[in-house]
Amino acid sequence: MQYLKTTLKLIALIVVVLWTLIPVIWFFMMAFTTYGGLPRGIGLPKILTLDSFREAIGGIYSVLPGIKDSLIFSLVCILLVLLTCFTSSYACSRIRGTYSTIVYYFLVLIRGVPFVGIGIPYFIMFKNWGLLDTIWAPALGLTTIGLPMNIWILTQFIDGIPTEFEEAAEVDGASFFAKYFKIMLPLMLPGVFTILILTYFGAYNHYVLCLMLSRGTFSPVSVKVAGFATELTVRWPEMAAASVIGVIPMIIIFVIFGKYLLKGFASLATG
């Protein structure tokens, strides 16, 4: 009975792992062949070559500027998140006055708004402001839509920090802002890091707002990759190669900071 149970468990595990991995492996294989060499059904590619990588790096649709744009975009989003969420979550956790309540209700509303729906007024708004086709239009939009998750996660993190630190500082005569900058900021850093990593992952992959608000001059990886699929044909191998290159920065960051990302997800689990 015990053996049967273990076997069944292992089979279920293998099925799920295959279901997750087969598309990824296929995807990888696609990158190392040409259009003519693509496998039909189950099979290995007929031609093995690095041509598609050469095309994806050096061709007209080179993905490298896209990676640069994506990285800058993530960085801008991270800076905007730092400007807003940092202080606001502190107030939501520790002060909890009227303003915090107002912010809280707005966050709940913002969380539900679809990107396309809010992208429509953004399109006109940023056009009037002359920000269309720059990095700022999607970055400001994405930061706004990302506010709820970031503030919720950070607030929860601050809730976990004992208030004794601040009380001790208060007793010692620290001013409100000294308390915030000298005592709380260092303690908040791990939580801040978590939301920054989450922001990075959201921004690097982001597509909708970039597609709507900045065509041409600023195009991140996702827009570049989607560019390989046109109405008439899809250049599968080049597309796959471009996204394999495009995913490298994600993997690097994940290997280094994956711990914080998982921590961020785990903090949702305590919610």
Partner 1 sequence: MRISTVRNEEFLFHLGVFIFVILFFIYPMFSIIRYSFLKASPEIPVDQWKFVGFRNFRRVAIEGHLGAAIYKTIVYAVVGSAVPMIFAMLFALLVNSFAPRFRRIINSILIIPMLILPVAAGIAWSFFLSEHYGWFNFFISKLGFKGKPWLMTRYSLWFVILTDIWGWTPWCYIILLAALQQLPPIIFDAASIDGAAGFNKFRFVTFPMIKKVFLTVFTLKLIDTYKAFDYLWVMTGGGPGSASTTLNIAAYKQLMYYRDLGTAGAYGVISIIFPIVATLILFLFIARKE
Spatial neighbors of 16 by CB under 8 A, at least 6 apart, are none
Among 52-60, 71-79, 186-194, 248-256, the segment contacting partner 1 (CB under 8 A): 248-256
Look at residue 55 and give its three-state secondary structure: helix
- When asked if residue 9 is in the footprint of partner 1 (CB under 8 A), the reply is yes
The site for partner 1, by CB under 8 A, has a size of 99
- Judged by CB under 8 A, the residue of 57, 61, 205, 257 near partner 1 is 205
Output the smallest distance, CB 218 to partner 1, in A. 16
Binders of partner 1 in range 185-204 (CB under 8 A)? 201
Residue whose entry in the numeric block shows the structure tokens 């909890």: 96
Binders of partner 1 in range 15-44 (CB under 8 A)? 16-17, 19-24, 26-27, 30, 38-42
Identify which of 258, 75, 269, 256 has the alpha carbon closest to the alpha carbon of residue 153: 269
Look at residue 234 and give its three-state secondary structure: strand
Identify which of 83, 121, 147, 145 has the alpha carbon closest to the alpha carbon of residue 213: 121
- Judged by CB under 8 A, the residue of 131, 192, 198, 212 near partner 1 is 212
Among 50-58, 71-79, 192-200, 238-246, the segment contacting partner 1 (CB under 8 A): 238-246
Binders of partner 1 in range 95-154 (CB under 8 A)? 95-100, 103, 106, 108-125, 127, 140-141, 143-144, 147, 151
Among 53-61, 71-79, 192-200, 225-233, the segment contacting partner 1 (CB under 8 A): 225-233
Q: Which is nearer to partner 1, 54 or 99 (CB)?
A: 99
Q: Which is nearer to partner 1, 47 or 108 (CB)?
A: 108
CA distances to 171, 198, 207, 215 from 134, in Å? 49, 23, 15, 9
- When asked if residue 182 is in the footprint of partner 1 (CB under 8 A), the reply is no
From first CA to last CA, the distance across the chain in angstroms is: 38
- Judged by CB under 8 A, the residue of 176, 182, 186, 190 near partner 1 is 176
DSSP 37: G
User: Distance between CA 179 and CA 161 in Å, rounded?
Assistant: 14
* Cβ-based neighbour number of residue 247 at 10 Å: 17
Rg of the chain taking only CA atoms, in angstroms: 23
Output the smallest distance, CB 59 to partner 1, in A. 17
